[in-house]
Structure 1
Amino acid sequence: MSSSRVVIWIVVIVVVLATRMPAEMLVNKIVKPTDSFNARIVVDTLCSVLLIAVIMSVVGTWIGMGSVSLDPIVNFFDIFPRAFVISFVVESFLAQPVARLVMQAYHDKKDAHIQSSMAT
């Protein structure tokens, strides 16, 4: 694997972690407490993807080109739609399902532990 591929994935992880709090603040401005869980998840995904795509449209281009220039900023509106779609697909079909499986396994294990504690 080339070094730029490793760097891009490290940057993606850092960007995802860095955009978590701003995305949550944005979601809280859009979603009301009475809205459904599914509505909250959809808005959360869209806000996260939006912020990730904005940053990666510029930073990803710099990493891919191997140099920092104004090109990704000048061509931002040409680059952004592709970055948004890629981010949305990865989030929707990879990150969210994996996170749900991990959380389900965690809660199943926790529930089994509670059940065994209550049985004894």
Structure 2
Amino acid sequence: MYKEERLPQNAKEGILFLLIISIISVNTIAPIIMGLERGFSKENYLETLKIIPFMWIIVVLLVRLVAGPVVGKVIPKFVGQTDGFNARVLMNTFMNVTVLSILLTIIGTWVGTKHISLEPFQNFFHSWFRNFGVAFWIELLIAQPIARLAMKKIHARQSRQARMI
């Protein structure tokens, strides 16, 4: 079977791929959403930096334990055998961002406000649509392409080294 050079080929590469995407995502999406929510200021940005490590752990856990398994089961229903790489990446990104943005609209509010309340449910649709839009475009235009470029470069280096042997 053909191995896509822009995607991870083993567990070690999978971890690196996840780290690249999650670090870029958390460090861009969280500050943008907080800025849209509370205003763009130095104080709000510094406050966001305090919660980013916690959000990063939450995001990685949600990707591995919730979004990954759910999307893995659902995506075959939407992607056909003849669909190309870009169609598959777009659908995978859309589904992952949908699942994660739903969960993080609630959990992110709790982490950001430092208490569990009904507030994220009361403002869910207003917040979720905005959060989904921010996350989807960051993933599609920044995080995913950078991670795929890193995989492509790793695989090109491995091919050069294999040819030298």
Give the TM-score range, shorter chain. Answer: 0.7 to 0.9
Report the residue type matching 2:158 in the other structure: K
TM-score (norm 1): 0.86
Q: How many residues align?
A: 117
Task: Between 55-64 and 25-34, report the one with greater CA deviation.
Answer: 25-34
CA deviations on 1:17-71 (whole Å, 9 max, x unpaired) are 3312211222111111121121111111100110110101100111111100111
8 A contact 1:20–1:48 mirrored in 2:
yes
Give unmatched runs, 5+ long, in structure 1.
Answer: none
Relative contact order, higher structure (CA 8 A, sep 6+): 2
Of 117, 138, 142, the residue aligned with 1:90 is 138
Q: Deviation above 4 Å: which 4+ runs of structure 1?
A: none
RMSD over equivalenced CA pairs, Å: 1.6
1:105 paired with 2:153, answer yes
1:11 paired with 2:58, answer yes
| Deviation at residue 100 of structure 1 after TM alignment | 1.1
8 A contact 2:90–2:140 mirrored in 1:
no
Identity %, equivalent residues: 31
Instruction: Please tell me whether Structure 1 or Structure 2 has the larger radius of gyration of its CA atoms.
Output: 1
Question: Equivalent residue for 1:80?
Answer: 128
Give unmatched runs, 5+ long, in structure 2.
Answer: 1-45
